[in-house]
C-alpha cells in the first residue's frame, strides 16, 4: 500500500490491488505454496472505506430531448445517430455493446434487444415506448437485411451506402456524441453518461436496484448503486432555486 500511496492512487485503486492480492494468496494456498496461517492473515485484511462524489452526470429530460432532436437533419446518418443515442439512454447499453448489435438481436414484437455483453453475460433490454419511433424510423432507412444494426455509412453524392457487414468502433460513438452534444449545447458529456441517465430514469420510475442490476449487466448491486444520480439532481435543483 505504501507504493500506491506514493503514486497518489485512489482508494478504489488500492482496494482493487488488495482484492487481486487476496486472490493470488488464495490460489497460492490452494496449491500448497503458502502456509494457511499466512493466507488467513492476508484474507483478513480489510478494504478501505471511502465515499466520493459520483463521476460523470445524468442527463435530465430536457437535455435528453435536445440530444435526440439535435440529430434530426433528414439524413440517413441523422436517423442512425438518433437511434443509437435512444438505445444508449433508453436501454443502458455500453458503447461496445451498441456497436456490436445485429438485426438478429432485435425483437420487434416485444421491442427488445437480446445480446451477449460485457463479462460474457447474456441479457435482454426493453426499449421505452416513447423511443419506439426512433428505432422504427431508423429501420425504415436501414432496411431489414441481416447484419449490423447500426452500420457505418458511406455517404455518396446522391445516395448513402450502408455497410451492413461492418461495425462502428467505440471511438466512433464517442466522436458522434461529442459532436452532437456540442451542437445541442449540452456541455461536457461522455457516452457512459447516457448509461448513467438510463439508471437514474429506471430508479425514478420505481425500479429496485436488483432489477436495474440485471438490466445493466452488473455482477454486483454495489456497482449499480453508484449509477444513482437522483439525490444529486434533486440537490442541484433545490440549490439553484434558493434565494438569499
Catalytic residue among 41, 55, 65, 118: 118
Contact criterion met (CB below 8 Å) for 84 and 98:
yes
- 14 a catalytic residue: no
Cell of 50: 471511502
Q: Where are the alpha helices (DSSP H) in the chain?
A: 2-7, 11-30, 36-43, 61-70, 76-91, 95-99, 132-142, 170-183, 191-204, 209-216, 221-225, 230-241
- 218 a catalytic residue: yes
Tell which residue, 112, 120, 114, 123, has the closest CA to residue 90. 112
Catalytic residue among 26, 192, 214, 226: 192
Catalytic residue among 39, 134, 227, 229: 227
- 94 a catalytic residue: yes
- 230 a catalytic residue: no
Contact criterion met (CB below 8 Å) for 228 and 197:
no
Catalytic residue among 57, 80, 82, 94: 94
d(CA 138, CA 143): 8
Distance of CA 27 to the CA centre of its chain: 33
Catalytic residue among 57, 195, 196, 201: 195
Catalytic residues: 94, 118, 192, 195, 218, 227
Amino acid at each position: 500500500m505504501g507504493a500506491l500511496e506514493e503514486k497518489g492512487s485512489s482508494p478504489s485503486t488500492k482496494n482493487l490491488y488488495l482484492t487481486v492480492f487476496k486472490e493470488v494468496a488464495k490460489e497460492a494456498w490452494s496449491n500448497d505454496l503458502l502456509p494457511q496461517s499466512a493466507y488467513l492473515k492476508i484474507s483478513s485484511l480489510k478494504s478501505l472505506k471511502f465515499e466520493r462524489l459520483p463521476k460523470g452526470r445524468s442527463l435530465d429530460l430536457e437535455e435528453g430531448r435536445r440530444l435526440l432532436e439535435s440529430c434530426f437533419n433528414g439524413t440517413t446518418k441523422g436517423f442512425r445517430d438518433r437511434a443509437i443515442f435512444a438505445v444508449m439512454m433508453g436501454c443502458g447499453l455500453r458503447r461496445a455493446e451498441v456497436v456490436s448489435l445485429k438485426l438478429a438481436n432485435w425483437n420487434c414484437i416485444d421491442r427488445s434487444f437480446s445480446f451477449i455483453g460485457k463479462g460474457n453475460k447474456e441479457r435482454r433490454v426493453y426499449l421505452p415506448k416513447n423511443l419506439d419511433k426512433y428505432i422504427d424510423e431508423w429501420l425504415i432507412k436501414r432496411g431489414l437485411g441481416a447484419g449490423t444494426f447500426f452500420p457505418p455509412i458511406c455517404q455518396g453524392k446522391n445516395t448513402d451506402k450502408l455497410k451492413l457487414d461492418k461495425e462502428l468502433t467505440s471511438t466512433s460513438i464517442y466522436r458522434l456524441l461529442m459532436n452532437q452534444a456540442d451542437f445541442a449545447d449540452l456541455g461536457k458529456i461522455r457516452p457512459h453518461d447516457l448509461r448513467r441517465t438510463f439508471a437514474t430514469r429506471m430508479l425514478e420510475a420505481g425500479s429496485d436496484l436488483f432489477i436495474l442490476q440485471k438490466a445493466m449487466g452488473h455482477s454486483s448491486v454495489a456497482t449499480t448503486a453508484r449509477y444513482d444520480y437522483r439525490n444529486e439532481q434533486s440537490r442541484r435543483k433545490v440549490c439553484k432555486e434558493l434565494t438569499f
